[in-house]
């Protein structure tokens, strides 16, 4: 979403797109229900930890490493093949995202660089910074036109300005735009999907919609499937009101499915089965 020539709060207008208000309200009600669960009052730390694990598994699945939850839970070494490294990166991001909130509000570009550093876990000079002219991008599951480095730089600055200035847009809208824009730009040489979903998580936590990080949207995206995810992303890339609204609705549905996952965890804990 280009912010060139934009109004002071370009995200706010997206909230009035057809169907978006309904998605926002549906998500808010779903989140309120899980936060109102009696288990959340006593064992929220456990729910947060489980949501982080399940969210990481879902994000890794969207990036091509579709492991069973118990395999993710059991494994301790993620330094092996490419899939293991993707899962390891997703777990590291899920664990650290909530720790970056104070920096995010002041310097979102610094946080995005940190997220890439965490995901890639490499020491090359291309790690932890936006890609430069001529650098290739390893993101085989997203086959979309790739903006050049100059456009990436300008649009990242626009995103950062929006975060720092603040917005009256609903948290779902802001999170969906952050997620979609990072997938569209693919600003790093690798792991852009993992970074985009971690950035969405930071927005949802920092906005106050999901302050305890118990609504893992990544679970929902994985459940809805990669094909549906990419089709919704095409709508975002189109920039049309219908396409943008469809992407925001898709993100909202993913959050609701994440809520359902954590509600099931709450119920299992209540029964003493987990």
Name the residue with higher pLDDT: 176 or 7.
176
CA atoms within 13 A on the CB side of 45: 1
Return the percentage of the chain with pLDDT > 70, whole number: 96
The CA distance from 19 to 73, in Å, is 38
pLDDT mean across residues, the chain = 93
Checking if the pLDDT of 129 tops 80, the result is yes
Which of these, 221, 210, 217, lies nearest to 28 by C-alpha position? 210
Residue 230 has pLDDT above 60, yes or no: yes
Bridge partners, 138 (sequence order): 190
Mean pLDDT of 75-101: 93
What is residue 272's predicted lDDT score, i.e. its pLDDT?
A: 83
Can you tell me the mean pLDDT for 38-46?
94
Contact yes or no for 266/39 (Cβ under 8 A): yes
**Does the pLDDT value for residue 225 go beyond 90?**
yes
Instruction: Give the number of other CB atoms < 10 A from CB of residue 204.
Output: 29
pLDDT over 90 percentage in the chain: 86
CB burial of residue 229 (10 Å; 0-12, 13-18, 19+): buried
What's the pLDDT band for 6 if we cut at 50, 70, 90? very low
Distance CA 93, CA 147 (A): 25
CATH topology classification for 10-131+141-272: Fic-like fold (1.10.3290)
pLDDT at residue number 4: 40
Q: Please check the confidence at residue 274 and state whether its pLDDT lies above 60.
A: no
Length of the chain: 274
User: Would the pLDDT of 36 be above 90?
Assistant: yes
In sequence order, what are the residues at sequence separation of 6 or more whose Cβ sits closer than 8 angstroms to the Cβ of residue 163?
A: 104, 105, 108, 178
Q: Regarding predicted confidence, which is higher, 238 or 122?
A: 238
Cβ atoms of 233 and 59 closer than 8 Å: no
pLDDT band for position 1 (cuts 50, 70, 90): low
Q: Any idea of the CA torsion for 254, 111, 211, 261, to the nearest 10 degrees?
A: 30
In this predicted structure, the answer to whether residue 49 has a pLDDT above a threshold of 90 is yes
Distances (CA, A) of 7 to 143, 167, 170, 271: 31, 11, 17, 51
Q: What is the pLDDT of residue 140?
A: 83
Domain ranges of the chain: 10-131+141-272
Q: Please tell me what DSSP assigns to residue 168.
A: S
Closest C-alpha to 20, from 220, 235, 251: 251
Indicate the pTM of the whole model.
0.94
């Amino acid at each position: 979403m280009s912010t060139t020539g934009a109004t002071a709060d370009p995200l706010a207008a997206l909230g009035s797109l057809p169907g978006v208000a309904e998605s926002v309200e549906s998500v808010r009600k779903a989140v309120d229900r899980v936060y109102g669960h009696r288990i959340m009052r006593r064992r929220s730390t456990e729910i947060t930890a489980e949501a982080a694990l399940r969210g990481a598994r879902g994000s890794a699945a969207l990036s091509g490493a579709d492991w069973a939850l118990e395999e993710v839970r059991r494994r301790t070494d993620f330094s092996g093949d490419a899939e293991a490294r993707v899962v390891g990166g997703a777990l590291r991001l899920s664990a650290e995202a909530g720790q970056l909130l104070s920096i995010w509000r002041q310097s979102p570009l610094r946080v995005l660089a940190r997220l890439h550093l965490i995901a890639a876990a490499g020491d090359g000079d291309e790690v932890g910074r936006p890609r430069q002219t001529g650098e290739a991008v390893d993101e085989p599951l997203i086959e979309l036109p790739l903006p050049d480095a100059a456009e990436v730089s300008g649009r990242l600055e626009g995103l950062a300005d929006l975060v720092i200035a603040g917005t009256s847009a609903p948290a779902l809208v802001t999170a969906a735009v952050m997620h979609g824009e990072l997938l569209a730009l693919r600003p790093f040489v690798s792991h852009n999907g993992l970074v985009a979903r971690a950035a969405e998580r930071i927005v949802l936590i920092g906005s106050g919609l999901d302050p305890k990080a118990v609504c893992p949207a990544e679970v929902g995206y994985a459940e809805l499937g990669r094909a549906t995810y990419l089709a919704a992303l095409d709508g975002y890339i189109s920039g049309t009101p219908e396409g943008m609204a469809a992407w925001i609705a898709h993100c909202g549905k993913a959050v609701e499915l994440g809520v359902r996952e954590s509600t099931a965890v709450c119920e299992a804990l209540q029964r003493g089965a987990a």
